[in-house]
Amino acid sequence: MKRIVVATHNNHKVKEISAILNIPGWELVPLSDHISNTIIDLPPENATTFTGNARIKARFAYDLTGCATLADDSGLVVDALDGAPGVYSARYAGEGATARQCNEKLLEALDGVKRNKRTARFVCSLIFIDEDGTEYAVEGTCEGHISTTPRGKNGFGYDPLFVPNDAQGNPGKRTLAQFSAAEKNAISHRAVALAALRKLAFQIQPDERIRIVAFDFDGTLIDAASPVRLVNRLVLHDHVMSFWVGVKIAFWGMRYKMGSELDQSLPRRYIFGSFTDFPSTYANSIMVSLYHEKLRYYFRPEALRRIEEHKQAGELIILVSASFDPILKEVTREIGADGYIATQMEINNKGYYTGRTIGFPPEGEQKLVQLTAYADMRFGKGNWVITWAYGDHFSDAPLLAAAEHAVAVDPCRRLNSIAKERGWEIMPLGVQRVKSQARRSLYQAD
Ligand code: ITT
């Protein structure tokens, strides 16, 4: 993934920008994280325009890092105050003032001003500097008015006082702090500016829906079942699980692969049952090393090839797997996927796994339910579509059915017949299997 360094110290901005921008193949990294967790002072913002200030921040970060850089300068422009606080929005009530103090000062300044004279707009100027130094400047606004009392707890800065107009341009009712994050990200000045940037610098049209490719992990992206491999390791290597429990789960794994209707919580219960005696950090390190020492050698080359093709076509890769969070996090990082959904296990306040899951694990119909919730939150309702879905087991069928193109990868017998019936693509049984020696050679370059 290529990096866009975001030149800001405002974490709210980073959150909003990350939720909106989503450029396939690029990741956003705050400047302080890029420079190994050091807080770097940004230069003084002494320009008189939003664009001028955004350019000061962007140039500074670009000169410092040599990476593609994005800077946002934004603020509130109130008509009755001749455009104040404007470029001084962050320090309207003095250097280092809190958002609450700025809001109080604004209410005082507008004391006695009638509702129809309280019109205002948020402005966001963005400067994006590409890796080769090319600069792109865009701006977005959000029209509304200033309410007479602060309302709502979401967002930041002047959100509790700013009431955006409704879709018809009439005065709205709720303040931005009463909007959910997704609602704000659909209409804000930052969203408008970022949509313009997506078009200008990345040629992505504003009305184009985000195209998601959903990939199951076990049996689909890899030619193995990670819970079964984990059990293997816990029995033979870490000696924290008894041999007979191991045999029981191996047998379960064989029947699962053949497509039997089975209780999917069984391996999870045994695995996390054996983790309850030591801290979750240790359990996580076992899962991470299992990935690096074993699982990554079982990637199906054809699946990796498909992923690269989807990335080239500008689609986002989201892994959806009932396997465990620490494993999926590693996979996502290594293959440069754009996100993942995995089983989250509960950790108690002493830092030990309790053996219970947080919410439902993403298996069966839950895969589609959770992917929908994730995408609605990240991209906004109606802004995305599942173009392709890949799975190997009949329990993946609801997810596959929701995609424009479904692919049954080396499928169990039941998924094989569902796929034939519905005309889904079938990646043939066994064809993608590579001897483990050959698999290793795939990674010799690492
Ligand atoms: P950086 O300079 O580090 O990016 P900052 O918060 O100082 O962070 P600005 O100089 O751009 O950023 O000041 C923007 C101020 O305008 C910000 O502190 C808020 O008070 C206000 N503001 C900007 N966008 C806003 C939004 O979406 N909602 C509420 N207030 C906003």
The 10s digit of each residue's pLDDT in 135-165 is 999 999 999 999 999 999 999 999 999 999 9
Weakest-pLDDT range from 230-234, 359-363, 417-421: 230-234
With the most atoms of ligand 1 within 8 angstroms of its CB, the residue from 17, 72, 158, 194 to mutate is 158
Please check whether residue 302 is in contact with residue 427, taking contact to mean a CB–CB distance below 8 angstroms: yes
| Distance of alpha carbon 230 from alpha carbon 271, whole angstroms | 8
How far does residue 205's CA lie from ligand 1's centre (Å)?
A: 27
Looking at the DSSP bridge assignments, the partners of residue 140 are 124
What SS3 class is residue 4? strand
- 16-43 as b/e, with b when 16 or more CB fall inside 10 Å? bbbbbbbbbeeebbbbbebeeeeeeebe
**Mean predicted confidence (pLDDT) in 294-320:** 90
Residue at token pair 């080769």: 132
Q: Residue 437 above 60 pLDDT?
A: no
Q: Confidence class of residue 429 from pLDDT cuts 50, 70 and 90?
A: low
159 annotated active-site: no
142 forms bridges with which residues in the sheet?
122
Residues with C-beta less than 6 Å from any ligand 1 atom: 8-10, 13, 42, 45, 72-76, 89-90, 99, 102, 122, 155-159, 188, 190
* Structure-token pair, residue 226: 């990670």
Q: What band does 38 get if pLDDT is binned at 50, 70 and 90?
A: low
Average pLDDT of the chain, as a whole number: 89
Distance of CA 201 from the midpoint of ligand 1 (Å) = 23
Q: How far is the CA of 167 from the centre of ligand 1 (A)?
A: 24
**Residue 379 structure tokens:** 């991209």
The encoded tokens of residue 287 equal 């899962």
Residue of 72, 73, 159, 410 marked active site: 73
- Ligand 1, atom 1: closest residue by C-alpha: 8
